Structure 1
Amino acid sequence: MFIQIIQGRCSRQDEMHALADEWREQLGPTADGWLGGTYGFTDDGMFLGVVRFEDREKAMANSRRPEQDEWSRRMAALFDGPVEFHDSDDVTLLLDGGSDQAKFVQIIRGKVDDPGRLKAMMAHGQMLHEMRPDILGATLAVEPDGTYTETVAFADEESARKGEAVMPPDDVRADLEYAMQGATFYDLRHPWFETA
């Protein structure tokens, strides 16, 4: 799997949402290898989009399409300033990767010097789900320098906040503290999803 993260400040939220819907309806059906995406805004106006493709080659082929280029220009015009793009084909899934039924999504961006430790924690999906049934699934995208983006889908924000208060076992807590040191959390209280 290949994931691209798009992030930037956007005060024209209704227009951005409408443009994303237009892409799903008009360009999505002809985008080879497109799997879906998770989108939303933080309370302070940060837009985040996490777009999934089967692989990097298909994602790049989509980017080269003239109609995609034209759509991307329209999207860039909606942002209040610079836009960040992060690409990763080092992707780990937790519980099939998420759920379009999520009512709350948290995107966590950080950096680690041992991505394998982070991925190993994700591999224990069943144990994590038993400990945190509020988590419906997640994706972990790691860039070559150890920067990661974790997209976690929750049943709802209330259950997510209760789950945060649960004390994990010592070994899991140590791994979580390692991964989350210096990380930035982006809460999407009204996420939306697109699926191929």
Structure 2
Amino acid sequence: MFIQVIQGKCTKQDELRAVADQWRSELGPTARGFLGGTYGFTDDDMFVGVVRFESREAAMENSARPEQDAWAGRMMALMDGPVEFHDCDDVTVMLDGGSDTAGFVQVIRGKVDDPSRLQAMMADTDLLHRMRPDIIGATLAIEDDGTFTETVAFTDEASARTGEAVEPPADVRAALDEAMRGATFLDLHHPWFESA
């Protein structure tokens, strides 16, 4: 799997959502290798999109289509400033990656020295699901320099906040503390989704 993260300030939320809906109906059906996407806005108007493709090649093939380029231009015109793009070939999926029925999504961006430790923790889905039944899935996308984007889908925000108070085992706490040091948490209170 390949993930591209798109992040930028946008105060024209309704217009951006309309352009996204246009992509879903007009371009999505012909985007080879497109698996799905998770999108939303934070309270301070930060747009976040986490788009999944079967491979980097499929994603780049989609980006090269003239109709995709024209659509991207319309999207960029709605943004309030620069937009960040993060391409990730190293992707770990937990509990099928999530669900389009999630009521709350938290996108966590940070950097780790040892990505394998964070990946191993996510791979232990039994432990994580016992500790946090409110988590219905996640993806972990890691860039070459250890920068990561974790996208966590929750049943609802109230359950997520209750789950945050649960103290994990000491080894899990140590791994989390290392991974989340300096991390940015982007709360998507009203996420929307696309699936192929």
Identical columns (%): 73
What is the distance in 1 between the residues matched to 2:48 and 2:138? 15
> Partner of 1:83 in structure 2?
83
TM-score normalised by L of structure 2: 0.99
> Partner of 1:147 in structure 2?
147
What is the distance in 1 between the residues matched to 2:12 and 2:144? 33
> Partner of 1:49 in structure 2?
49
Deviation, structure 1 residue 127: 1.1
What is the distance in 1 between the residues matched to 2:138 and 2:170? 22
Q: Please, what is the CA RMSD of the aligned residues?
A: 0.4
TM-score normalised by L of structure 1: 0.99
- Give 2:162's aligned amino acid: K
For residues 72-103 of structure 1, what are the alpha-carbon distances to aligned partners after superposition, in whole Å with 9 as ceiling and x for unaligned?
Answer: 00000000000000000100011111111100
What is the distance in 2 between the residues matched to 1:64 and 1:126? 40
For residues 44-78 of structure 1, what are the alpha-carbon distances to aligned partners after superposition, in whole Å with 9 as ceiling and x for unaligned?
Answer: 00000000000000000000000000000000000
Runs of 4+ in 1 over 4 A off after TM superposition: none
Deviation, structure 1 residue 131: 0.7
What is the distance in 2 between the residues matched to 1:12 and 1:58? 29
2:193 corresponds to 1:183: no
What is the distance in 1 between the residues matched to 2:132 and 2:37? 23
What is the distance in 2 between the residues matched to 1:15 and 1:38? 17
Deviation, structure 1 residue 126: 1.6
What is the distance in 2 between the residues matched to 1:82 and 1:131? 38
> Partner of 2:16 in structure 1?
16
Deviation, structure 1 residue 23: 0.3
> Partner of 2:164 in structure 1?
164
> Partner of 2:102 in structure 1?
102
For residues 8-29 of structure 1, what are the alpha-carbon distances to aligned partners after superposition, in whole Å with 9 as ceiling and x for unaligned?
Answer: 0000000101111110110000
Unaligned runs of 5+ in 2: none
- Give 2:126's aligned amino acid: Q
What is the distance in 2 between the residues matched to 1:126 and 1:4? 27
Unaligned runs of 5+ in 1: none
> Partner of 1:111 in structure 2?
111
What is the distance in 1 between the residues matched to 2:126 and 2:90? 21
What is the distance in 1 between the residues matched to 2:42 and 2:147? 21
